[in-house]
A and B are shown apart, each in its own frame.
Chain A
């Protein structure tokens, strides 16, 4: 009863056009950034999904990319209104739910084969 009520309350915050995400996918996340003067612009963040956690309104995913030779990980809320769009560029074939092992690998070893 209680979880059902919470789902009803949070339903209006859920997005309907979220693509099916899986760990190992390469995604492009368009993030809205608020600048001084309440202006917004969108910035793309492209990387590998290494973790998906939570469910419902609290669902988040972590995207890892290599920026100027430095690994960067960013966690986004799937249903955040600050995320304009999520596009899956490539489905990867992996055998884990959390790809933490990828952090220690060189770029060559961190290649993931495509899932079809």
Chain B
């Protein structure tokens, strides 16, 4: 069964491994774990998956369908819901999945929304070079040439300023360095997209 868990990013730190080397880790926390809201089967839904809910949402701000959906799993409405596609699911509706679903040494894929950088020019966005800042240069951080005049148009894909960041990004094959069950914490080697307190979806790695 492919494992999955919705967590919050707490921040980064370093720890020492058994051989004395320093390992950079991201701290991920799932307070109270995730609740299985629905199990989708091949017969009923055409594919097999299970749906996880994370963090309680107030009933006052939930829709009736959300409340009724959560009630089937005997729980409160959830703020975040995500689905893990998997064969031979051993979970039942209403089960609580905690961080100990992962073990030390597991490989995981981590999906999150990266930090937004706002409207960015080609230097920050595409790594282009800037022009001279002085000596009468009037070309500082501009977009440069729009291309040759022969086609009388700008080619598609010309790199122009646009919004940067706030992209959904998946980082593959991170190692689970430690699982601290009593604090609902997993430590993942390396960095994870997004700000502190951001929502992160951790799944078993597909390429390992």
Contacts and interface: CB of A to CB of B under 8 A. Distances in A.
Interface of B: 10-11, 13-16, 19-20, 22, 27, 29, 180, 183, 185, 187, 196-197
B183 A5 contact: yes
In the A-B complex, the 3 residue pairs with the smallest Cβ-Cβ separation, listed nearest first, are: A82-B20, A2-B10, A81-B20
Contacts of A9: 13, 15, 27, 180, 183, 185, 187
Nearest to A7: B13
Main secondary structure of the interface of A (DSSP, over half): helix
A79 to B, nearest CB: 7
Contacts of B10: 2, 5-6
Given A3-B11, A6-B27, A13 B16 contact: yes
B196 to A, nearest CB: 6
B20 A80 contact: yes
11 contacts: A2-B197, A3-B11, A5-B27, A5-B183, A6-B11, A8-B183, A9-B183, A10-B14, A13-B15, A13-B16, A82-B20
Contacts of A34: 19-20
